Amino acid sequence: MQHLTVLGSTGSIGTSTLDVVARHPDKFRIVALTANSQVDLLFRQCQQFKPGYAVMLDEAAAIQLRQRVREAGLSTEVLSGVAALEQVAVLPEVDAVMAAIVGAAGLRPTLAAAHAGKKILLANKETLVMAGNVFMDAVRASGSALLPIDSEHNAIFQALPRGYNGDLAGNGVRRILLTASGGPFRNTPLSELQDVTPEQACAHPNWVMGRKISVDSASMMNKGLEVIEAHWLFNASADDIQVVVHPQSVIHSLVEYVDGSVLAQLGNPDMRTPIAYGLAYPERIDAGVAPLDLFKIATMNFTAPDFERFPCLALAYQALRAAGTAPAVLNAANEVAVAAFLDKQISFLSIPRVIKSVLDALPVGTVGCLDDVLGADTEARRAAQQQLKKSSR
């Protein structure tokens, strides 16, 4: 029996995780669930899974949840705040932590889980993007098991040799091929991108995701962040990682070997597949995902990414090559810009302009500890807010 904490249980990854868990009550037990402010959904999850702990990041939401839990006669203890997220990530009875909180808010509890030597199912991009060396050092020092849950990185993990030790050349790997759907604007004329709405940006053709990550997919910043993640997960340089636009989202990523072999992981675009693989590794369990029908797919297409159409992807490569605090600055500026776009304060095309301005304005510092990362994050957010005042629709 594996005992789990799910950080971000009301998001798309969190709900998919609980769907897989519910299929295997003999294998998994939920110890703690966490959310930002979705009281109704977290309460229903508490009723179904009866966790020992439930955490709301928002204090007012925690008060509401605590009352509803008490009235329902549940024994779940309701906590609130960032410290509580860290607390439930390191509980001695917890074996594994699903890190599915979107944004920088997921960094501290995920890092705490790494220091505690927990098995980490990593679906939070920002942990590696912002603090890759700090996090990986903690994983190595504690002996924590790290399993990537992003469909692309999970696919790479599956296609690399079992027990891969971080040496691409030593394992006969030529490069990593990271697939991207291209998002909803893959074929939209550049002249029309200025006027796209948040609703259009969030309408992903293949995946059901939250609003922030959907906008990142539309701008291909999501893929840029994944390039940075792949660097840390697999010890691959920027030149070792090639993005391939694959609209069908059937091949989730590939590994090219020096003998000419290319190994790919295929499946329907359903996050329950990588989640189930991470939960049960090295075994495989039913995820509730429909079998892949190759005859129905019939055709798969592949193109190189258009950096003019997707400048956010180019900015991510730039930040990875700059190293140090540059990826944290990139991430912070993007979060501020995307939030402004979703609030209809700036245009879609202003997102990369804000990010570029912040990257150009701030010097690249070294990262020796978490405070260096958080300092860069704060400075970048301040610079991005200043830049927003200059931006217009």
What are the CB-based long-range contacts (under 8 Å, 24+) for 164-168?
164/234, 166/234, 166/235, 167/235, 168/234, 168/235, 168/236, 168/240
**In the beta sheet, which residues pair with residue 30?**
4
Assess whether pLDDT exceeds 60 at residue 315. Answer: yes
Amino acid at 294: L
The DSSP letter of residue 325 is: T
Lowest mean pLDDT of 106-110, 319-323, 325-329, name the range. Answer: 106-110
Average pLDDT value for residue range 230-236: 96
Given the structure tokens 């309460």, which residue do they identify?
43
Q: Could you tell me the residue ranges of all domains in the chain?
A: 2-148, 165-267, 323-390
Separation in Å, CA 163 to CA 159, 274, 281, 346 = 11, 18, 12, 46
Which listed CATH number (3.40.50.720, 3.40.50.300, 3.40.718.10, 3.30.230.70) goes with 2-148? 3.40.50.720
CA 51 to chain centre: 24
Amino acid at 208: V
Assess whether pLDDT exceeds 70 at residue 392. Answer: no
Lowest mean pLDDT of 35-44, 200-209, 228-237, 352-361, name the range. Answer: 200-209
Cα(320)–Cα(225) distance, rounded to whole angstroms?
Answer: 9
Q: Answer whether the bond into residue 189 is a cis peptide, omega within 30°.
A: no
Assess whether pLDDT exceeds 70 at residue 207. Answer: no
Assess whether pLDDT exceeds 90 at residue 198. Answer: no
pTM of the model: 0.91
Enumerate residues 6+ apart whose C-beta is below 8 A from 140.
none
Give buried/exposed letters for 227-236 (b at 16+ CB in 10 A, else e). bbbbbbbbeb
pLDDT of residue 46: 98
Assess whether pLDDT exceeds 80 at residue 188. Answer: yes
- Cα diameter, the chain: 64
Average pLDDT value for residue range 334-351: 93
pLDDT digits (tens, 9 = 90+) for 29-43: 999 999 999 999 999
Average pLDDT value for residue range 67-80: 96
The helix/strand/coil state of 254 is: strand
Supply φ then ψ for residue 315, to 5 degrees.
Answer: -65, -35
**Residue 197 pLDDT grade (very low, low, confident, very high; cuts 50, 70, 90):** confident
Q: Write the DSSP assignment of 176-197 as a string of letters.
A: EEEEE---TTTTS-GGGGGG--
Average pLDDT value for residue range 265-272: 94
Average pLDDT value for residue range 332-349: 93
Average pLDDT value for residue range 160-165: 91
Average pLDDT value for residue range 156-180: 95
Mean pLDDT for the chain overall: 93
Enumerate residues 6+ apart whose C-beta is below 8 A from 53.
31, 32, 33, 76, 77, 78, 79, 87, 88, 91
Cα(312)–Cα(327) distance, rounded to whole angstroms?
Answer: 12
pLDDT of residue 208: 61
Q: 362 near 375, Cβ under 8 Å?
A: no
pLDDT of residue 134: 93
For the domain covering 323-390, report its CATH number. 1.10.1740.10
Average pLDDT value for residue range 116-128: 93
Share of the chain above pLDDT 70, in %: 98
Query: Helices marked H in the chain — which ranges?
Result: 12-22, 39-49, 59-71, 82-89, 107-115, 125-142, 151-159, 198-201, 211-219, 221-234, 272-280, 294-297, 311-322, 326-342, 350-361, 370-390
